Every structure is written in C-alpha cells, then in structure tokens.
A and B are shown apart, each in its own frame.
Chain A
C-alpha cells in the first residue's frame, strides 16, 4: 500500500510539475525546472547528502550540513518551520548520524534551489503534504553520516591508525588508545578527502537520539517574545503597507478618491493597482486608517452575481452526473446488478479558510539591481519566481530569506500575498512590510473547495460491500495551482484515497466531476483530497455497518483482513477505549480509520447528548502508526493539534458567499475551538519499525467522520454535511 501510495504521489507530482511549468510559462521560463532536468553527478551527490560535508569542509558550501572550525554544525533546513517541529526533527536525524548533540546544531533556512532542495515526494521545493519527515529521513541522515565518516577518517590519519579503530561521539573522534580530537580541528583535513561511496547509516537499535522525546529547538524564544515572524521584522528605511483587494474575486478598481486617506497622520503613499489599493505609512495603524478613509469605486465583475446557493445547486447537479473515470477495478455495473441490495449516500463539505493566526505578511525591498524578500513561505522557489516575474529581474537577483511561520495549514503554499507585496514595493523606493488586516486575510484567502461525494455500494447478503462507485464533485486545486488538469482530466489530489481505499472490494469505480465554483479561488488546506475521500468513505462504511446491524469496529475488521497494521491499530484502540464494554445511556461512540500520508490512524469520539441537540465530547482517542518515530513529543503534538484543528472545522466552519463576497471576516464569524471547548486528545503511538509516515495532517483526516459517526450513535441522526452546527447541533 505504501509503495502504491508513494508511486501514486510521484506520478501525480510529475504531472503536477509539467503543469507548473505551463502555469508559470507566461510569467517565468526556464529557471524553475530542475526536478525534471538532468542533474550533474555532483549536483546529484549534493542533493543526496553525499557531498554536503566534503564541500562544506572545503569552503563553506554543503546542501544540508556544514561543520565549522569551532565544531558547530550548520544545518541548512530544506523545510520551513510552521509549528510542526520539523526543524528539530531533521536536526535529530543529522545529530544522530553525525554524533553531535542537538545543542551543537544551528539551523539556517534553505534558499530557493530546486536542484538541492526539491522534495522527492512533492517533486518541488516545498513544505507541505505531510512529506517532510518521509522525504528527509534518508538524505538528511546520509548527510550526517557522510560527515561523520570523513571526520573519523581524518582523525585516524592524524593518529596513523585504522578508521575502524576510531569512533565518533559528542562532536569528537576517539582513538584506540583514548586519544580524542574535536570535529573543528579535523575539518580542514577531512575536506581534502573524496566522499565515501559506502555511506553506512546507523541501525535503528543503535539510535540514541531518534525516537527520544527531544526538546524543540525553536520553542525557547517562543515563550519570551523574542521569536521573530515575518510580521515582526524591521528594516532600515522600511515603511508598513496594507492593502485592500476587490471584495469580489476577479473584480477591478474603477476609481479611487484618496484625499481623506492622505490626511491620515503617518500615511506616505497610496498605491493603486489594477485590482488592489495599498497604503504605505510609518505604522500599521495609520495604514489601516488610511485604507478605511479611501473611497474606492469597484468594478465587481461577473462573480458579484454568485451566492452560496448557486454553488450548492451546481454541485447538487454535478454529483448526479458521471465524470472522468479516475480508476475502474472489476465490474461495478455487474456488481450493482447482482447485488442483493444497494446503498447510496451523498456527503457534503463546505468551503474552508486556512486563517492562520499570523495574518499574511511579507517584507520586500525592490531595487534596480535586485530584490530581497523576507517572508515565511512553504514555497521559496515560487516566491523567488513571482518576484522575478513582477520586477523583471532575473530569479538569481531575488533573494528569499525564509522565516518562521505563524501557522500555515496550506496558506503559505500560496504566494498571492508575496506577489501583491512585490507589486506594491515596485511602486515605491523604500522597503515595505505588507501586513494584512484579519478582514483582508479571511476574505482574500484561497479556500478549501466545497465538495460533494456520492457513493453507491453493491452490498452482499451478509451486508458487506462487494464494490462501490464513488463520484467526487468540486473545484480542482491542482488545476488552479498548476494552471491546468493533467491530460487524464482527473485531479490527482482530489481522488487520493478514493482510488485506493483500504477496504477489500471486488469492484471500484471513481469519477472526478470538475465543477469550478469560479467565485473564489480554491487551494490547499490541512490535507485536502485525502481528507475529503476519507470523510466520505468512513461515513459511508459506518452507514453500511449500521444497515447490516453489525458493530462498526468488527465490521471494518472483516473488510481489513488484508491489512495487518491497520488491524493492530484498531485492536489497540479497542483495548484503550474498552470498545466491547457497553456505552452508558445517552452516550455514543463513533469511529473512523484510514491510511493517510503514509500513516495509519484510528480515531474514536465519544459523545453524550444534552437535550435534543446538545453535544458534549466526553472522550477523544486517536491511535497512530506512523512507522519509525523521530520525536514522539512532536508526533503527539501534531496528532493532538491536527485532530482539534479538524474538530474546529467539522463542528463550526463554513465560508459563505453573498454577492460574490466572502461573508466571514473575522473570528467572531469564523468560530474556532477555544480551550473551554477543547477536549483532551489521547494519543497512542503504535511501536513500529516501518518507514516513517507523515503526521501533520493525519489527525485532521479522521476526526470529521469519527464525529459524525458518533453523532449517529448518540442521536440516531445520520448527518451527511459539514459543519455539524449546520444541522442544529451545538456544543453543550
């Protein structure tokens, strides 16, 4: 399964990449093609981590690891830190193999360089899709191990002994008679050696750091106010800017009366672009006041006629059609004809905003000879490309200084705000820091698509599905991000999981029915296609179990006999929650299981009914098998946070459109779970020696279906549309 999953991802990313070059074709040509371009042997070696230390010891350049004369290790992180703890995780991988302490490592942000920092799973330089640990696991450990081998060889040479008689520990090499030399003193000699061909990685049983609950490297400054995010940066001569884009997507500025805005103390310039008006000022408040004082006449355009009801109706119609067939296994039509019964249900999910707590922000300085961007981004290469396209500079003239990100959830996979910041900065002579208001941020997000899934199962005499037809309707993120769909006409992200469900089925047919909302751009979230498919499948299987009068856990186990790891996870959950013992009166338990992002997750929600529609979450338990764990603390934290992030959305969240405008402007209208409403999340990790899986989005994927299945178990009400509050329920 994992191989298949990775292959699918690779295939889809390859298509993705071809599309990306088409999408950027109008703006940028050539510079951003490396994953498909032939690599020099040297570049290949560096990317694999082989050359990193040798080059760094020579004079400073290594893809991932550079050891200094002072013995400190610079780790050039190919992954952005947005709270997932990845920079600590990869530091642990390097430190483990290099035999240094975590406190000897200094993390630097990787610059845009697709040749060196392309994520092999994503096929471009990006942080997302729960790939970071899966991708870095091999090359980063290899980088550390290579460095260690060269340093040991250097020490052996100094002592005129055999490398095999020496070993490394705590940043030093120790010899056979108790000699020791610090890494810093070996750097120059080690740099003269050719790279070893036979880099040997440690065996998991020899790990002393990987697998331990290491303290995060970035958190000490996050508890004393010293941590800097993009929004906190200050540069000499910098002014603040804030912008208002047309409230309707696709609309334009018709005319602007800026007389009142110019009178606001602190306001310097008004920048009028085709679809955006920006104010620059000496402080953020003056920017906001200046924007309020602008009298802008907009040409709203065609989208101003679209309301949520229009989007709804289009999806309702679309889901009744057949679409492009994403996969077909066995003969579903024959299965449906021969089945002793059929069952069909439609599941719906709304537009969602990412709304990280740090509003979109970007510092830009555009000069004749170059451009600097200081910005927290999941896609430094795209940041560079868009700045080059706007300014007419060459990509190599654009420097990207990546920053810690104050929450992303996919938001900073988009670079619309970077493009906007560079457009504004190009009109003024000074550096600017773009800071969006929350209202601008929420109404000019790009949104997780609204989707409908129609599932039709052929059910045998024992109540189990022989096969099913799964129709998926909605906008295509892939097409928006890349510029077009692959030639197949199938959005590879949208159908993920659906085309390879974990359950054993004789026949399966999946349709992708593209129905673009047009009214808002669609984009990534904390998991997209995986979440959507998992939601539909797990609600549907729960219904099938219910229809068959069978226990939903044992029903799933029957369909999962070919998945021993999944069965282990299910059994662990069953024992942790005493599944076989009866639930107290007025309570119900819901379950969901999935193989997502290379990990196996089982989530259980127990609810009690308070009156007719009051929901109290009594217990929330999740079991994860994510293979070999680097940092168990981070795995737990991601499962806790990811699950509650998904719970917030499943309970409350929906973006509405009226007159083409997003109606939710701030957190009073786009409600987030608060501490008083947040249940503890019990996380159990299955011990495993399998290859690492992703955990950033894994918890988010299972909570939605587990919640709705629990609602059914508690209230006898099969809700098929998110969010739950839409059906009249409330948190009691």
Chain B
C-alpha cells in the first residue's frame, strides 16, 4: 500500500511501486483529465503538479511521489489564478480537439505560479514540452500573455 496525496485528498493505493503516477491517477483514482499521449515524457499531455512544479506523470514511478502533494487538472478550479487561466483559454478559444489542453493548462499554471516576470521566451521555455497536434500554439501564447498582463507579471 502506498499513500498518495492527490488534490488534497489522501488515497491508499495497492499498486506496484514502478507504476507511473499517470496510470494510478487515471486507472486507479479514475481522474481521467490527465491524458496519456506518448509514455516517454515527449508530449506533456500527462502534466500534473508535484508540490506546485510541473512533472510528466507518465514517467514518474508512483513510489517516488509518496508524501508529495499532487495536483491534477481536476484539482485546480478552486484557485483564483487557475480560474483566470481557464477563462483565458475560453476567451481565446484555445482548444480544438482539447486532448492536450489539460497538460497545457497545468504547464501554464505552473509558469504563472512560479514566475514574477513572464515574456515570450519564458513561455517558450515553460511550454515547449507540451505538444499540440492541432497546433493551437498561437492562442496558447496569447492566453498566457493575457493572464500575465492581468496579474501584472508580463515583462516583454
């Protein structure tokens, strides 16, 4: 049995320690907002927060995250900054198929949580690990810029 803290709730899970966090989240805890895209940390669809930092849950053995605070897309909606990000995503009509967008939003939120100064280069660095096959990149950039401006951290 492993003890996991996901979205503020403690779970006891009976899984092999090498099972990636992604599959524990999706198949055991049934939180399917976090997506599977590649399994080798190339696409970012599985991005969640570990103690506020973005991590690729598809390559993170669950035993390595015991005791850490894990946040998934389902756990962010109470946070004012996250709501701003989600709002910006809707205002800019970012999503097309939407499959990668949980991961995109988790990466964007981590950037906004972490940085006191954001510009295009910071967006490149923070978001380059998240693929979007629909190529919604222009709108992702605009949405992040929009939130950055509204919270006063946009420094071009």
Contact = CB atoms under 8 A, between A and B. Distances in A.
B50 interface: no
Q: Determine the main DSSP class of B at the interface with A.
A: loop
Contacts of A405: 97
B135 interface: yes
A637 B96 contact: yes
B154 to A, nearest CB: 17
B102 interface: yes
Contacts of A83: 95-98, 134
A668 B42 contact: yes
A117 interface: no
A301 B37 CA distance: 31
Nearest to B107: A675
Nearest to A672: B131
A404 interface: yes
A521 interface: no
A80 to B, nearest CB: 11
A469 B124 CA distance: 46
Contacts of B129: 674
Given A355-B133, A357-B100, A219 B138 contact: no
A446 to B, nearest CB: 17
Interface in A633-662: 633-634, 637, 640-641, 643-645, 647-648
B50 to A, nearest CB: 17
Contact of B77 (A224, A284, A404): A224
B135 A645 contact: yes
Nearest to B97: A83
B30 to A, nearest CB: 6
A560 interface: no
Nearest to A213: B93
Most-contacted residue by chain A among B20, B35, B127 (CB, 10 A) = B35
B27 A357 contact: no
Interface string B98-124: 111110010000000000000000011
B42 A667 contact: yes
A358 B90 contact: no
A435 B89 CA distance: 28
Contacts of B98: 83, 218-219, 222-223, 227, 404, 406
B150 to A, nearest CB: 17
A76 to B, nearest CB: 21
B34 interface: yes
Contacts of B94: 219, 223
Nearest to B131: A672
A673 interface: yes
A284 B26 contact: yes
A224 B89 CA distance: 10
Given A219-B98, A641-B135, A225 B33 contact: yes
B74 A357 contact: no
Contacts of A219: 89-90, 93-95, 98
A224 B86 contact: yes
A226 interface: yes
Interface in A336-374: 355-359
Contacts of B19: 283, 285
A358 B99 contact: yes
A34 B111 CA distance: 54
A222 B95 contact: yes
A409 to B, nearest CB: 7
B66 interface: no
Contact of A678 (B95, B101, B138): B138
Given A218-B98, A283-B28, A675 B141 contact: yes
Given A83-B96, A240-B27, A438-B39, A223 B134 contact: no
Contacts of A357: 35, 37, 43, 45, 97, 99-100, 131-133
Contact of B136 (A406, A409, A641, A668): A641
Nearest to A81: B97
Given A283-B28, A358-B99, A409 B128 contact: no
Nearest to B40: A666
A265 interface: yes
Given A85-B96, A438-B39, A641-B96, A220 B31 contact: no
A223 B89 contact: yes
B90 A223 contact: yes
A240 B135 CA distance: 30
A212 interface: no
A138 interface: no
Nearest to A233: B32
A644 B72 CA distance: 29
Contacts of B140: 675
A407 B26 contact: no
A672 B100 CA distance: 14
Taking each of B127, B128, B133, B138, which has the highest tally of chain A beta carbons within 10 Å of its own beta carbon?
B133
B123 to A, nearest CB: 7
Contact of A667 (B16, B34, B73, B131): B131
Interface string A684-715: 00000000000000000000000000000000
Nearest to B143: A223
A232 interface: yes
B113 to A, nearest CB: 17
Nearest to A281: B27
A297 interface: no
23 contacts: A216-B95, A218-B95, A218-B98, A222-B95, A222-B98, A225-B32, A225-B34, A225-B74, A229-B35, A232-B32, A234-B32, A357-B132, A438-B37, A438-B38, A637-B139, A640-B138, A644-B137, A666-B40, A668-B42, A672-B133, A675-B124, A675-B128, A675-B132
Given A223-B98, A640-B135, A641-B96, 19 more contacts: A82-B97, A83-B95, A215-B93, A219-B95, A222-B101, A224-B73, A234-B30, A356-B99, A358-B37, A438-B38, A637-B96, A640-B136, A641-B135, A645-B134, A668-B40, A672-B131, A672-B133, A676-B125, A676-B128
Interface of B: 15-16, 19-20, 23, 26-28, 30-40, 42-43, 45, 72-74, 77, 86, 89-90, 93-102, 105, 123-125, 127-141
